[in-house]
Structure 1
Amino acid sequence: FADLGDATFVFVGAFDWDTLRSLTETYLASLPTAGRVEQWRDVGVERPPGLEEHVVRSGIEPRSQTAVIFAGDMEWSRQNALTLTVVGEVLQIRLRERLREALGGTYSVGAISRATRNPDPEYLLYVIFGSDPARTDELFDAVFEEIAWLRDGGEQEYLDTVKELLRTARAEDLRDNGFWLNQIRDATQRGELLAEIGRFDERLDALTLEQVAAAARLYLPPDRYARVVLLPEEE
């Protein structure tokens, strides 16, 4: 707390404004400032180009873990970030239906996505699943078949399901102080209007199946990903 000159404080929850103002003036306004403006620093972490495949052998349990990682540059916007989220959610449903329910190859499979703005706008989407080591390649191929299905257009019923799931989750988030804290903090850091937080449903309603398929083609290219497999040690 030697220099809080460029700090932004965010308060969320139910509070009395006059009481908060008094406490802020007493305990925050009195903290030292030196006029320094801090900046984040790009540490220069670069993604490997093209295809990367790595096998790690560790442990003795006859199980494998596979991660398929897509990452790259993106044009940042809340709409694009939401579209990426929907791509991941649709893929999550399809992979559960295919790898777990149809093939019985895994108990747990996930598709996780994230869009970031700094230091450069970029995205990350990865698929992870555990399986019998003997079925690793089979399930890996099935993952890419489902990705191809989405790139080729997908189906409207899956988009409708994901939209409803996201609306329900958003309604629950709106009652959580932690959600508001994160949203206000992120919008402030990005220099966005706080009103953008309230336009989630508008952006979700505008999203079409064609846009989701186009995003899958953009973010999930068949010639640029990393595959990492954890296998048990060889005897």
Structure 2
Amino acid sequence: MGEALHTRSRVDIRPWPHETAIAHLILLDVDMVPSLADIDRWIDESYELTPEIRSIRTGALFPNAADAFAERGFRVCDRLALLERRLPPTEAVPAPTPATPQLATRRLRQRDLEVAARIDGDAFPASWQNDAQSLAEIIDATPRARARIATLARRPIGFALTGKAGPTGYLQRFAVDPSARRLGVAGLLVDDAVRWLSRRGATAALVNTGVDNAAALALYEGRGFRRRSDQLVVMEFTR
């Protein structure tokens, strides 16, 4: 795992998990619109990261930020649907109920990160997997965070990373072991995240997923999330 370059304007640059020839450029302020000078500097820093770097891939970008990157030659490589749920007062969000007594959630601790990374690797295509380091960075990306791991008969089968910044909550990363799907794990983790955000005063929760991920879209929409008109994009740059 490579060391991050911490640059100005709240951005991290590090090798993409499991693909060290790609630099991962992450805006730490999701609302930021970078200047062209910022992007030029980040391009140079990305290619200086290691001798292996051949291209640069961003995290998920809002439209205004994506426009700035497009001016510097970045191209869209993935589109994400953005969904939002308005959050009512705490008492209106009931505690989640597991579908089976053997299904439970607990705090995800640092020692669980490698297990979570294995679940992530089984749940997502190779190009979009997280390692333990990148999962730790997701937890640290917002002022307040909740990390939970789901277990079935004490065996880890899923996890959820949720963050809060100001009045907005972010369902940042959810993964369920393919062997444990259709057991209510994802729903339990989403309900837990929404309740936590509501109890801490968030007025809205945001989540993104692939525009063609029908299962995830159905899960979120079934729990009160509604698609916004704007989409997020992941962009890539090659010299």
Common topology (TM > 0.5): no
More strand by share: 2
Based on CA coordinates, which of the two structures has the bigger radius of gyration?
1
More helix by share: 1
Q: Which has the higher contact order (CA 8 A, sep 6+)?
A: 1
